Structure 1
Amino acid sequence: MRVLAFDLDGTLLTKNSSFAFCHYLCQQKHLSYFHLIYSALWYSYYRHWSHSYYHLHKRIFDRLLRGQNLSFLKTEAKRFVEKHLKKMLYPPALRYLEEQRKGQGRAVILSCSPAFLVEPIANFLGVDETVSSIYTTDNDGCLLDIAKVIDGKAKADYMHRYAYDETVAFSDSFDDLPFLEKASRAIVVRPDRKLRRFARKNKWEML
């Protein structure tokens, strides 16, 4: 069986879904624009100075998500997807999803973004399987802490279950190199500078 494994942000989507969702919540007046600026500054810091997805996730979780009701976030995420997702899609990567829809394989989305956001995006795209960052909740269903963050290594570890299948991995980020190298075939999508250089050296396909 052929397995198509996709990163989400910058790969299937042209934007970062978490940042776009934060912007949406600001527009709906559920968050202040201070939160949007805070997220942008920490994301910029991560891109230039840090390589820890967990560190980035923890900072933003503590400021924006801790104490938020999970059911509320799921409802708003579904509305966000219905209203905004189409204009965020990247057609060259989406064409590969047609193979899954035609019964020529299965697809999975592996993303650092929160499960409450990744799952409705996957449903919209017709992808049944997702691996994404998850949180613990208290007795009232409010977010309490981070349970798991999905980074490049976690994506690579997940690919072990498909060790005997033909796997095709898609990503835009050099941080996902362990994931890309685990696949039978790697395709880089709108790659960052380091990944572009590595892909050219190894003659990987680029979209």
Structure 2
Amino acid sequence: MRLALFDLDHTLIPIDSDYSWGQFTVTLGWRDAETHTRANDAFYEQYKAGTLDIHEYIRFSVAPLAEHGAQKSDAAHRRFMDEVIRPAMKPVAFDLVRQHQDAGDTVIIVTATNEFVTRPIAEAFGVDELIAIDLERDAQGEPTGAIRGTPSFREGKVARVEQWLAARGHSWASVAHSTFYSDSINDLPLLEKVHEPVATNPDARLRPIASERGWRILNLFE
């Protein structure tokens, strides 16, 4: 098995899908613009600084889904894909994914954004395998605001890939080669785990680490 792992936000797309979805709910009138933007900005700064409490953030970010229900939320997400995500998707990112698929690599998007936001984006890239934050749901299928299982965030990304491998009778030892593309200092644990870490559009904290360690730096959106 050869793995090609991709972070999503600011790696395969030049925006943060989670942050953008939050702002999109404001345009829908689902949230007060000033209150939501202030909180969303604060969480985003915490994420960039590596200090985000992922459980607190998920409670905040998925609240509108439960409030408006699955049918309305799914319809809103289709608009979000058409108006925000697809215009941001770049041919160079599609090409990179296809290169690995054509080489026979198993391509997985491994993201700290929740599966509601990211599943349609993975599908738009033609990627079947997605490791994202799984949302706990109630008997009606609505998100409770809690995370189901291990969040795919920081060290949790390593654990979730290990779980994915184990479910298919594999382990890290049986992976012939693994590549991980990411922009974020939050993904340092998984970057350190794979055979070939690629700092992709790296943030200000990841870039000097990548340079010092001799990792490939890919500025995908230049």
2:184 maps to: 173
Instruction: Report the residue type matching 1:154 in the other structure.
Output: G
User: What is the CA–CA distance in structure 2 between the aligned matches of 1:24 and 1:58, rounded to whole Å?
Assistant: 17
Q: 1:174 touches 1:192 (CA, 8 Å); kept in 2?
A: yes
| Contact 1:6–1:109 (CA under 8 A) maintained in structure 2 | yes
Q: Find the counterpart in structure 2 of residue 195 from structure 1.
A: 206
Residue segments in structure 1 that go unaligned for 5+ positions in a row: none
Residue number among 154, 157, 161 corresponding to 1:155 in the alignment: 157
Distance in 1, matches of 2:152 and 2:68, equals 21
Q: Distance in 1 between matches of 2:145 and 2:29?
A: 24
Q: Which residue of 2 aligns with 1:54?
A: 55
Which amino acid in structure 2 is aligned with residue 87 of structure 1? P
CA-CA distance at 1:66 after TM superposition: 5.0
Paired residue type of 1:141 = G
Following superposition, the deviation at residue 48 of structure 1 comes to 4.0
Matches within 5 A, 1:114-133: 114-133=114-133
Cα distance, 1:90 vs. partner? 4.8
More off after superposition, 114-123 vs 77-86: 77-86
Q: 1:27 to 1:55 in 2, by over 3 A?
A: closer
Contact residue 69 and residue 142 of structure 1 kept, 8 A: yes
Shift of 1:10: 1.1
How far has the Cα of 1:68 moved from its partner? 4.3
- Provide the identity percentage: 22
- 147-156 or 196-205, which moves further after superposition? 147-156
Superposed CA offset, 1:57-84 (max 9, x none): 344445x555442343233223311332
Summarize deviations over 1:166-191 as a string: whole Å, max 9, x none. 11101111111111111110101111
For the 8 Å contact 1:69–1:143, the answer to whether it is kept is no
Q: Distance in 2 between matches of 1:123 and 1:94?
A: 12
Q: Tell me what 1:27 maps to.
A: 27
State the 1:107 CA deviation.
0.9
8 A contact 1:43–1:56 mirrored in 2? no
Structure 1 length as normaliser, TM-score? 0.86
- Number of equivalences: 206
Q: What is the alpha-carbon distance in structure 2 between the residues aligned to residue 138 and residue 200 of structure 1? A: 46
1:103 deviation in Å?
5.3
Instruction: Rate the CA distance shift 1:67–1:30 in 2: closer, same or farther, 3 A.
Output: closer
> In 2, distance between residues paired with 1:91 and 1:146?
35
How far apart, CA to CA, are the structure 1 residues paired with 2:30 and 2:75? 13
Q: Which shifted more, 175-184 or 159-168?
A: 159-168
Contact 1:6/1:170 (CA < 8 Å) preserved in 2? yes
CA deviation digits over 1:42-67, x for unaligned, max 9?
Answer: 322443472433343344445x5554
Deviations 1:138-171 (A, max 9, x none): 2333221312432021211233325222111011
The equivalent residue for 1:141 is 141
Q: Does 1:184 align with 2:190?
A: no
CA distance in 2, matches of 1:189, 1:92: 12
Counterpart in the other structure of 2:45: 44
Contact 1:188 1:204 in 2 (8 A): yes
Q: Which residue of 1 aligns with 2:168?
A: none
Which residue of structure 1 lines up, in the alignment, with residue 110 of structure 2?
110
Which residue identity is paired with 2:53? S
Judge conservation of contact 2:65–2:142 (CA < 8 Å) in 1. no
- Gaps in structure 2 of 5+ consecutive residues: 166-170
